[in-house]
Amino acid sequence: MKKIGVGILGFGTVGAGVAGGLLRNRKVMAERLGVEVLLRRVADIDIVTDRGIGLEPALLTTDAMAVVNDPSVDIVVELIGGTGAAKKFVLAALDAGKAVVTANKKLLAECGEEIFGAAERNGVDIYFGASVGGGIPIIRVLREGLAGNEINSIHGILNGTCNYILTCMEQEGVAFDEALAAAQQSGYAEADPALDIDGGDTAHKAIILASLAYGFHVPVSKVAVEGIRNLAGMDVRYAAGLGYRIKLLAVIKRDGDMVEVGVHPTLVPHGHMLASVSHVFNAAMVNGDLSGDTLYYGRGAGREPTASTVIGDIGDIARNLLAAGRSRYQRGVCVANEGRLSMRPPEEVASRYYLRLMVLDKAGSLGVMTTILGRHGVSILAATQQETTGLPDDAGFVPVVMLTHPAQSASVDAALREIMAAEVLNEEPVKLRMI
Ligand code: HSE
């Protein structure tokens, strides 16, 4: 049976998961693929820590380039992360004619054009299934299963840390900071949790999905990104009372020649399938013109789920190499729509909104606000005012929550600025999107 050699760069959580999985499932892979996949080398700056998979010490090296240049390595698996050393080694591997598997969403979102260009130039495969959705093979769905569809929209819960935090805030009534600490302890958060909670990680994943769905390189600078760092427990509670859960959603939508790509904390009705995705789980709902709604659900992070998708990619490349190196894929993303589609500016996006305003509790305040909203064409669908008289936090201001009909973001912002200037609020209003 033909043998295909794998070299891994990065022996951290996912690297150890991939190495362990390749060793454990070697036989079943050979049976399924008709080719034997062998782990040849593993590089990391730390080759002393025991990763608990019983790897032969002779396979370990601190020299990543030795792995890239090893003639017995056909597939280089990059699991270092970031855009520093990882980029250098991925480009070196592609230039050396090696197929590459990476789970590095930041690298592809920020430097995709360069990386995919190098794969194309060298005529080698680059697979990145685990860059979005961990154990959910959503990339493969877009490249293969739904390839016959025009994609109308993708709504995704793509960051396990944020989903875990939001679930804790809602189910246990804990504040944001406490929920974040619990998420970090569970090991799901990025090394820098700002990437998770400020929405950057979800944005990287949204960019990759949007590029695949719509065939052009989505510029990071054109993506509207809001995180959950400033989300108040009060809004989680009010949303729940109104029949909604707050989820950090990636929204990717096409309307004619315009594409919207954004990341926002969003109110999702309890009856919506994405509302039931809790804790560290991820999900993506893809609407194709032929398929209609389809839903993909699973563990979006963690050692073994992510390893599962990486190993799936390795298996596919092994099959390609077996078929005399003729890849069944484009080398990266298809960019047939480059220059044809453009990004919709965030202020032009229309949505329903949840607004919470801390309103001066005196006659006419409500009238001031509704008049201003009306003047900006923002129509109110529902409104509630919570009684706070006599409560410890009663400062003469009451929380008023309004749900709007669909309105342009810019119109809502203009109305809220005017309401602030009318001196009927004691703090900046909260504005959240609704699905
Ligand atoms: N920090 C990411 C998450 C890991 O929480 O989903 C997977 O990309």
CATH topology of domain 348-434: Alpha-Beta Plaits (3.30.70)
pLDDT beyond 70 at 278:
yes
pLDDT beyond 90 at 167:
yes
* Among the listed residues 213, 191, 232, the one whose alpha carbon sits nearest the alpha carbon of residue 289: 213
Contacts 24+ apart (CB under 8 A), 137-142: 137/296, 137/309, 137/312, 138/209, 138/284, 138/286, 138/296, 139/208, 139/209, 139/212, 140/312, 141/286, 141/294, 141/296, 142/209, 142/212, 142/213, 142/286
Active site (catalytic) residues: 205
Q: At what angle do helices 303-322 and 13-24 cross, to 10 degrees?
A: 60
pLDDT, position 332: 83
- Mean pLDDT, residues 404-417 taken together: 97
Which three-class secondary structure state does DSSP give residue 238? helix
Would the CATH topology of 138-299 be identical to that of 348-434? Answer: no
Query: For all residues of the chain together, what is the average pLDDT?
Result: 94
pLDDT, position 392: 58
Q: How far is the CA of 231 from the centre of ligand 1 (A)?
A: 19
Report how far residue 209's alpha carbon sits from residue 431's, in angstroms, rounded to the nearest whole number. 26
pLDDT, position 282: 98
Around Cβ 192, how many Cβ atoms within 10 Å?
12
Spatial neighbors of 405 by CB under 8 A, at least 6 apart, are 352, 378, 379, 380, 381
Spatial neighbors of 277 by CB under 8 A, at least 6 apart, are 157, 163, 247, 283, 297
Please write the tens of the pLDDT for every residue from 168-206.
999 999 999 999 998 888 877 777 799 999 999 999 999
CB 194 within 8 A of CB 106: no
Ligand 1 atom nearest the C-alpha of 134 is: 7
Which three-class secondary structure state does DSSP give residue 23? helix
CATH code of the domain made up of 3-134+303-323? 3.40.50.720
List all residues whose CB is within 6 A of at least one atom of ligand 1. 134, 159-161, 188-190, 196, 201, 300-301
* Among the listed residues 348, 382, 381, 369, the one whose alpha carbon sits nearest the alpha carbon of residue 415: 369
Report how far residue 266's alpha carbon sits from residue 354's, in angstroms, rounded to the nearest whole number. 9
User: What is the Rg, in whole angstroms, of the alpha carbon atoms belonging to the chain?
Assistant: 24
Please write the tens of the pLDDT for every residue from 224-269.
999 999 999 999 999 999 999 999 999 999 999 999 999 999 999 9
* Among the listed residues 89, 80, 79, 67, the one whose alpha carbon sits nearest the alpha carbon of residue 21: 79
- Mean pLDDT, residues 329-347 taken together: 89
pLDDT, position 391: 59
Q: How far is the CA of 385 from the centre of ligand 1 (A)?
A: 37
Q: How far is the CA of 410 from the centre of ligand 1 (A)?
A: 31
Ligand 1 atom nearest the C-alpha of 103 is: 8
Ligand 1 atom nearest the C-alpha of 196 is: 1
What does the domain layout of the chain look like in residue ranges? 3-134+303-323, 138-299, 348-434
Provide the strand spans (E) within 64-165: 75-78, 99-102, 126-127, 151-157
- Per CATH, the homologous superfamily of domain 138-299 is Dihydrodipicolinate Reductase; domain 2 (3.30.360.10)
pLDDT, position 356: 97
The amino acid sitting at 183 is A
